[in-house]
């Protein structure tokens, strides 16, 4: 599993969708404005998320995107895999000579690390990230509010304000 900017933006956009798309579809333009992610980049990400059955599109006036499953059923790993095109394939063993041994050992190390990261992120759902975030902010039909002051915030969800990946 590769942890890329593409994956981070996809997780951020999916968190935004989980927060704002409970009652009605959310446009990519709205997500773009709140999260400061380019609209064309979001279009590319959401095409992949839709192909992987994580979101559904609603056409027509008032259309946009919604989660295709409950937030508790969508893992962070599934989002990252969807946009990175990871298939979860494991490298097949091959014969090596002694000159390739150190490279093979390093490859094994990185493959094991990748597997551990994938396992870790598979155990974290969008819902659990939102639950962790809810201790910092109040999320309701009116939007996002600072939990200490109850003052509305238009700040985008950022890596520092969300569950850090």
Q: What is the dihedral of CA 54, 57, 62, 67, to 10 degrees?
A: -10
* Res 163 pLDDT > 80: no
* Res 98 pLDDT > 90: no
Domain ranges of the chain: 5-146
Fold of 5-146: Arc Repressor Mutant, subunit A (1.10.10)
137's enclosing H/E stretch is: strand 137-140
* Res 161 pLDDT > 70: no
Nearest alpha-carbon partner for 17 in 45, 51, 146, 60 = 45
Which tens digit of pLDDT belongs to each residue from 20-64?
A: 998 999 999 999 999 999 999 999 999 999 999 999 999 999 999
């Amino acid at each position: 599993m590769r942890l890329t900017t593409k994956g981070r933006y996809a997780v951020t956009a999916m968190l935004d969708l989980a927060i704002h798309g409970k009652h009605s579809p959310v446009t990519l333009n709205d997500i773009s404005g709140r999260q400061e992610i380019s609209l064309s980049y979001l279009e590319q990400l959401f095409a992949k998320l839709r192909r992987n059955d994580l979101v559904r599109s609603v056409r027509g006036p008032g259309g946009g995107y919604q989660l295709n499953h409950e937030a508790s059923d969508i893992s962070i790993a599934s989002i990252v895999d969807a946009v990175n095109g990871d298939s979860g394939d494991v490298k097949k063993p091959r014969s090596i000579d002694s000159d390739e041994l150190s490279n093979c050992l390093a490859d094994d190390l990185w493959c094991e690390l990748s597997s551990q990261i994938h396992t870790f992120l598979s155990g974290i759902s969008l819902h659990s990230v939102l639950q962790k975030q809810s201790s910092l902010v109040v999320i309701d039909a009116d939007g996002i509010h600072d939990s200490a002051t109850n003052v509305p915030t238009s700040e985008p969800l950022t890596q520092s304000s969300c569950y850090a990946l």
